[in-house]
Structure 1
Amino acid sequence: MRSLRVIPPGPGVLTELRTAFAGGDAILVGSPSDDLPREVEQRVALVVETSGSTGRPKRVALSADAVLANAVASESALGGPGQWVLALPTHYIAGLNVLARSLVAQTAPVTVEGEHFTAAAFLEATAGMTTPERFTALVPAQLATLLDDPAAASALAGFRRVLIGGQATPPALLERAALAGVMVTRSYGSSETSGGCVYDGTPIGQTEVRVVDGEVRLGGPTIAEGYLGDPALTAARFVDEAGMRWFRTADAGTFEAGRLAITGRLDDVIVSGGVKVSLGAVERLLRENGVEDAVVVRADDAKWGEVPVAFTASEALPASALAAIEAALGPAARPRMRGGSDIPMLPSGKPDRVSLAARLNN
């Protein structure tokens, strides 16, 4: 067994991560909790709490080998080592990945300071960089913030690559980035896969992808040991076959000609008037048709049983977006709207769907 210590987010995380990977105590970046065990299995070096964007957070147990395999694969996919700007929280896997990549590259990351992400803070961080080979990882909202600022957009255009993950990126935002000369790579993965392991639809490193009964499964050396203290869920979501460990993502998708496309969540399908409707598919079509901030959740309905509801800051949904939804998914998928809504976000940059769903009952 191995001791597990909780450490606070901050400048000391990089040193603690290096020590954990070298065989020291396992670490969890966050706040102490009474139900956290004091020891973990010997292979576990890092425990990451998931964001809980759709429900109860989970504690993912990762080995040093898995996290470093992801970092090495990322470096190869991005064209070599470089210096990273840390703009994401270090208690989530995306921020920890930036530190792991820095350890592999043997470069010192620079941190965006401040409680809230701003273009000015990002520019201040880039001023401290010491190498022309520059990288960063952002969520879509952060990318939009930087593109809105001419100086920040110009600085970002000087980066070799900008990883974007955490949620689906609106096509219009990707077009803005391309026009600004920003080299964006879309990253797909989760805490259970040591972070992003599919870039722009292509598996990186030794990652393997397959789709079983419509569900995307990811396999390879970056897969987690399981969920801390939850053997039943571990058994349900992780599969070992012929020496390969696989993670059942619960994402729906296709994998054709070596390219992965995510189409929604298997667990976000509702039945509205007897018709199955994927909330993820509705949300994707809204974002592809001009409603870039749309977040779609389920709501109870006396007549139809369940209906999709779209939260957005917009005051109306474009007729073209509604037409696209009906054409692709049928009339039952046409969402009701909560316009003029602020979208609550988790620290990971993902929409807080639980909070939005709770609003429907108030």
Structure 2
Amino acid sequence: MTRLVPTSADDPAVLTEQLRRALDGGPALGLGMLGDQPEAAPDGTAVVIGTSGSTGIPKRVVLSGEALRAGAEATAARVGEGRWLLALPGGYVAGLQVLVRSILAGTEPVVLSGAFSPTAFAEATLTNLRADAADQLYTSLVPAQVAALLAAIDEPGVRAALQVYRAILVGGQALPEVLREQAADAGVHLVRTYGSTETSGGCVYDGIPLDTVNVRAVDGELRIAGPMLADGYLGDPTLTDLTFERDERGIRWYRTGDLGFVEDGIVRVHGRADNVIVSGGINVSLDRVEQIVRRVPGLTSAVVVGVEDDRWGEASVIVAVRGEALRRSEAEQLEHARDAVAAEIGKHARPARLVLVDELTTLPSGKPDRDAIGHLAAQLR
């Protein structure tokens, strides 16, 4: 067994040094651990990430140094290597992988300190440029950050900062198509990533698995194999056995819990298998509804949640930030979204309401806090 050291991600410089030692066989790091802190982890462990995720189910994901290296090396093979900007918490896998990639590339990451803002991003990018003009620049963001940057693209320095990156990895949740198009029009190179803590971060880029990754769909569920898979869940062999399984050839697969399919080598994700409501006796995927709603102008960052409904049993509700409605009334915006959903899925899937808020509650990882947003939508009936 390997000693497990409780670790804070508050100081990225300290975390980077601790991570460097962990990758070289030093004590394993316990990040964001929940409840009692175990004293040991399996041999070979570099990091254990404790997370409740967006589903609220506590997990302690065991990542070996081999898995973290494999993920970072596969990324470098796909997009290149250079100097990274850390704009996400280091205690979550997307931020942690920025540090791993920097360590393997022999560069020091520049840290965006304080609250994220377009101005802070532009200033940190300028610092990164000054560090070594010969290095290619990279960063990793979540869609909400991308939306904020594109909304402020005409502010001093923001457009130039975005354009200087060879690749901006975007993950954590689906990237709305309208944001991808806006970025492309502005000359910004976004790379949509798909993965999870259990895969050491993103392992499918723009729908194409990284070179060492295999993806297949079994009964509509996406499964992933590759050297970057987690060893399992610390102290929970039952969940480990349910989530990771070997096929008849001995290949180990991670059951993602995501619905999707693979066609002509392209991975297409439809959403979580468990993010479904039953409305009027018909199953409705909230992720699929959300994907359609986010194509509606003014609703690109909206979240769709399920609530109890006296007539249909359950119904979907759109929760969006006030001020993004593009001069449309709330009723007009809702009708536009309902028409779009009906055209692609059917009338049974149309959202029942639109709730406007000053800001969407998020998790520390930057993902929407769907539990909190769902509770709010249920209260505002």
Alignment of 1:1-362 (within 5 A): 1-9=1-9, 10=11, 11-30=13-32, 34-78=35-79, 80-114=80-114, 116-129=115-128, 130=132, 131-147=134-150, 148-150=152-154, 151-241=157-247, 242-290=249-297, 291-313=299-321, 314=325, 315-316=330-331, 317-341=333-357, 342-362=359-379
Percent of paired sites with the same residue: 46
Secondary structure, aligned partner of 1:340: strand
Deviations 1:281-304 (A, max 9, x none): 110110123221221111112221
CA–CA separation in structure 2 for the residues paired with 1:136 and 1:332: 40
**Does the Cα contact within 8 Å between 2:309 and 2:315 map onto a contact in 1?**
yes
Code of the aligned partner of 1:155: A
CA–CA separation in structure 1 for the residues paired with 2:5 and 2:75: 27
Q: Which runs of 5+ in 1 are unaligned?
A: none
Code of the aligned partner of 1:138: L
**Does the Cα contact within 8 Å between 2:6 and 2:37 map onto a contact in 1?**
no
Q: Which runs of 5+ in 2 are unaligned?
A: none
C-alpha displacement of 1:34:
4.5
Code of the aligned partner of 2:26: G
**Does the Cα contact within 8 Å between 2:334 and 2:353 map onto a contact in 1?**
no
C-alpha displacement of 1:194:
0.3
CA–CA separation in structure 1 for the residues paired with 2:93 and 2:318: 28
**Does the Cα contact within 8 Å between 1:221 and 1:245 map onto a contact in 2?**
no
C-alpha displacement of 1:132:
3.7
Secondary structure, aligned partner of 2:18: helix
**Does the Cα contact within 8 Å between 2:280 and 2:314 map onto a contact in 1?**
yes
CA–CA separation in structure 1 for the residues paired with 2:309 and 2:353: 14
C-alpha displacement of 1:322:
1.6
CA–CA separation in structure 2 for the residues paired with 1:323 and 1:149: 31
**Does the Cα contact within 8 Å between 1:51 and 1:346 map onto a contact in 2?**
no
Secondary structure, aligned partner of 1:48: strand
Deviations 1:34-72 (A, max 9, x none): 422111111221111235212223111111100100000
**Does the Cα contact within 8 Å between 2:355 and 2:377 map onto a contact in 1?**
no
Secondary structure, aligned partner of 2:274: helix
Secondary structure, aligned partner of 1:127: helix
Secondary structure, aligned partner of 2:55: coil
**Does the Cα contact within 8 Å between 1:99 and 1:109 map onto a contact in 2?**
yes
**Does the Cα contact within 8 Å between 2:207 and 2:266 map onto a contact in 1?**
yes
CA–CA separation in structure 2 for the residues paired with 1:270 and 1:146: 33
Give the alignment's TM-score, normalised by structure 1. Answer: 0.95
**Does the Cα contact within 8 Å between 2:23 and 2:65 map onto a contact in 1?**
yes
Secondary structure, aligned partner of 2:364: coil
Give the stretch that moved more between structures: 120-129 or 99-108.
120-129
Alpha-carbon distance change, 172 to 357 in structure 1, aligned in 2, over 3 angstroms: same
CA–CA separation in structure 1 for the residues paired with 2:237 and 2:244: 10
Give the alignment's TM-score, normalised by structure 2. Answer: 0.91
The size of the alignment, in residue pairs, is 359
